[in-house]
Chains A and B, each alone.
Chain A
Amino acid sequence: MKPTDIRHPDYFHKVVDCQWACPAHTPVPEYIRLIAAGRYSDAYMINWESNVFPGVLGRTCDRPCEPACRRGRVEDGEKKEPVAICRLKRVAADYKDDIRARLPKIPKEKNGKRVACIGAGPASLTVARDLMPLGYQVVIYEAEPWAGGMIRSQIPKFRLPESVIDEEVGYILHMGVQLRTGQRIDSMKALLAEGFDAVFVGSGAPRGRDLDIPGRKEAAANIHIGIDWLSSVSFGHITQIGKRVIVLGGGNTAMDCCRSSRRLGGEEVKVVVRSGFEEMKASPWEKEDAMHEGIPILNYLVPKEFKHANGKLTGMVFEKVAAKYDERGKRNLVPTGEPDVLIECDDVLVAVGQENAFPWIERNIGIEFDKWGMPKVDAATMQSTRPDVFFGGDAAFGPKNIIWAVAHGHDAAVSIDKFCHYEDLRARPAPGVRIFSQKMGIHEWSYDNDIRLDQRYKVPLKDVKIALKDIKQEVELGFDPALAFKEAQRCLNCDVQTVFAEKLCIECDACVDICPMDCITFTANGEETELRGRLNAPAKNLTQDLYVSDTLKTNRVMVKDEDVCLHCGLCAERCPTGAWDMQKSLIKVTHAGPACRSKSKEPMTL
């Protein structure tokens, strides 16, 4: 193998699994250290710059960082659990001081460029957040009377209090964004005619899928589309539901529906899914939360018919199926032949998916759509086939989640900024990388390198009986500072990198002997596949890189498997010559602004 190019901005970024997995690439270990140090405002600002809605995301994020977390690969025993990154983020939001003075200053003199955003959800708000400090004039059109999009309409208040939304949406609106609520855009053509320099479509995936089976029309009064129903609950239009409720669907919307039902009078609430429990789209923790509130999840039941009498829903019939796999490994749901199941109920909530709809975009104005009715959007630039129109969030590639909407917003803002400066959108800015030694003394580092063996801490919950009484009562209490400190100390500081200088190495083996994870091997070089097999511990995780040095004095190379490194720094403590050093790599995605424009095309490293 060739020596690893650690100057490439992605190399160390990939080692920080959480940050690499995060669509917005939030520097997670950096803010977790700040939380441990009690510097909540600083931790909040790192989050705010990167993911815009720390308080919201600290309660609702789909947390792609956590399955990626290295801690989940290195813990002992059966239960290997990641750091509770998401809930630590909430701690920063809960315990911060007033940070308004730290928000970017908005120039009084504008740059003369006007940008329209359609929909006031997380994607559009991110675009506004990135462009307002640069002097753009941003107009957000919103059909509803309020800003926030699905954050406000779909996420139940017992998971996300209104005050948190108001605060974080407010930070952006207070930048001087022109928010035009109650203005539904009916014609893209007409909007474009208003002469904006760029238009960003962040209108979400607002249409809930229906279930067209016998009885749907007759029992319509007691059958509700999940996201519409959640929205009505959110704004107080619906305050009660029948005692017996069936929720159809296995995603996070279904989980919100069933838990909301429990709070609006639903006593026997059941979730019914077509496929297996394990294959449900809902995040494992959301399923756990639902079951904790006494909601059973019934699987392998395919809806067949709504039963009704006198125009009133009485129950639902399901066909029992089993998962069978064909030769290609494709799964089919095959009826088991057992008798159908009748579940009696008063109301049904249908949460079987969401769709995009763009009836308001004319098809002759240069915006091309694919055969599924989705716009053709460049995944890197977020640009549509019409150069001045950009898409992001659920409107771009179908339903995802808030953190993806934020990431799209940042990318679109970079594109819009470059577009307005007549630059090549495909030349994306490299992230800013700073890397510096953490050495303070012989055995002293500026990070806490002791590895705690603590298991993941659970977030304290409000008592179920109290929680179920009031739909606005937040269920999770969040970590208190003491618990947050303990959880934060579980973080391995993967951004503090092991950096090897072959010229200084005397090949004494001290690092090999001390490494608790057997990550380091000195051996003859070879091809990657073959090399992976003959290291001190086999490097079987192919998604994780090998760090290979240049040839050493004995004609061997140093090979380090990044996979399970604890970043404990013992290799560097034991190195007599300083050939190993622990260096923090601080990687920040370049957002819209002068730094993203062409003069800084080269990666900024070291």
Chain B
Amino acid sequence: MTYLAKPKLHHPSLPKNKVGYTRRDYEGAISTLCAGCGHDSISAAIVQACFELDIEPHRVAKLSGIGCSSKTPTYFLGNSHGFNSVHGRMPSVLTGANLANRDLLYLGVSGDGDSASIGIGQFVHCIRRGVNMVYIVENNGVYGLTKGQFSATADRGSKSKRGAVNADSAVDMVALALQLGATYVARSFSGDKAQLVPLIKGAIEHRGAAFLDVISPCVAFNNHEGSTKSYDYIREHNEAVNRIDFISPRAPITTDYEPGSVQEVLQPDGSVLRLRKLAADYDPHNRIAVMNYLQEHQARGEVVTGLLYVDPEAHDLHAHLNTVAAPLNQLDEAALCPGSKVLEQINASLR
């Protein structure tokens, strides 16, 4: 027997959210990735986040490139819009789609090959421009579909499954994103949904370029001793700087926290990210300090996770370009073809 579809039956107490869907309604087709793939956990976290945020599935566009990670949009949000682009070209397709219809929620899903190798140029410019999106890199440090070569994010000195040692420096996606002006930057681990789900929710609520680097062990080719992207290695070296406890539109603080231990980040839409500090000296609003902190701790071999940087007053590409507020498909003929008089005015202004 081949893979079975997940049975339609569900737990009798499975709750519905405000828009009338259960969590199961946000699932997609059955995954054909290897058993135990971290990517499937990330898919489950996306499903959970969208359910909890009461998102209507038809308001989401999920876009991806090529690779194991880029297959995953088939496995979640089965009732949303989807686009599988050419390898590494997801960012430009997403940018175009976003410019044409700013009303949808854009979820770019990519991998370390798709974004750090063939598509690194696209990644760089998409972040630079501040496209309003959630950009998730499912980072396993290995080319799984071609049987386990090092990817561009594999750490120098880490070992492949066959024993080869990686001599190249790693591309640090988080450092790149910070440098390029991403306004919401987080790192997490597929094996820690308690951390990952709130980070995805925060990214969805964020208005601007939100980048998530999610370390996602490849069970088939990168989960051995000597790997720096294995379940065991990440669990041993994971240093979370904070935890998002919850996100809600202006909910009162009901839990007692020690003074100074909680940091609230007001999002432009009125929702609040409540961060519980784990590292006392960590300030996620200071881009330069964050970059230094990450470099120092990474040099010690720590994998720093959590909400690393957030700019609460972020602007997106539409604001930069001063585009029309309505999606293009909602503009009528009069707005799209304003007539020869307007054209003359424009021409005159350019003389």
Contact = CB atoms under 8 A, between A and B. Distances in A.
Contacts of B8: 76, 451, 453, 516
B231 interface: yes
Contact of B9 (A449, A509, A517): A517
Contacts of A513: 40-41, 43-44
B11 A517 contact: yes
Contacts of B34: 576
Interface residues of A, number: 37
Contacts of B38: 508
Interface in B31-55: 34-38, 40-41, 43-44
B2 A508 contact: no
Nearest to B40: A513
Contacts of A4: none
Classify the interface of chain A: helix, strand, loop or mixed.
loop
A443 to B, nearest CB: 6
B14 interface: yes
A577 interface: yes
Given A506-B231, A508-B41, A516-B9, A443 B2 contact: yes
Contacts of B3: 443, 573
Interface stretch (A56-64, A309-317, A563-571): A563-571
Contacts, number: 100
Contacts of A570: 4, 6-7
Contact of A553 (B14, B36, B235): B235
Contacts of A364: none
B7 A507 contact: no
A510 B9 contact: no
A517 B4 CA distance: 15
B4 A554 contact: no
A97 interface: no
Given A445-B1, A513-B44, A566 B7 contact: yes
B161 to A, nearest CB: 14
A12 to B, nearest CB: 22
Contacts of A267: none
Contact of B13 (A538, A576, A577): A538
Interface residues of B, number: 33
Interface string A349-388: 0000000000000000000000000000000000000000
Contacts of A553: 232, 235
Interface string A70-87: 000111100000000000
Contacts of B190: 508-509
A99 interface: no
A516 B43 contact: no
B41 A509 contact: yes
B195 interface: no
A568 B44 contact: no
Question: Which of A73, A513, A514, A577 gathers the greatest number of chain B CB atoms within 10 Å?
Answer: A513
Query: Which 6 residue pairs of A and B lie closest in terms of their CB atoms, listed nearest first?
Result: A576-B36, A451-B7, A513-B44, A537-B11, A576-B219, A508-B36
10 contacts: A73-B12, A76-B9, A444-B1, A506-B36, A507-B191, A509-B41, A510-B40, A516-B8, A518-B11, A570-B4
Interface of B: 1-4, 6-14, 24, 34-38, 40-41, 43-44, 190-191, 193, 217, 219-220, 223, 231-232, 235
Given A508-B191, A566-B7, 5 more contacts: A453-B8, A507-B191, A513-B43, A516-B10, A570-B7
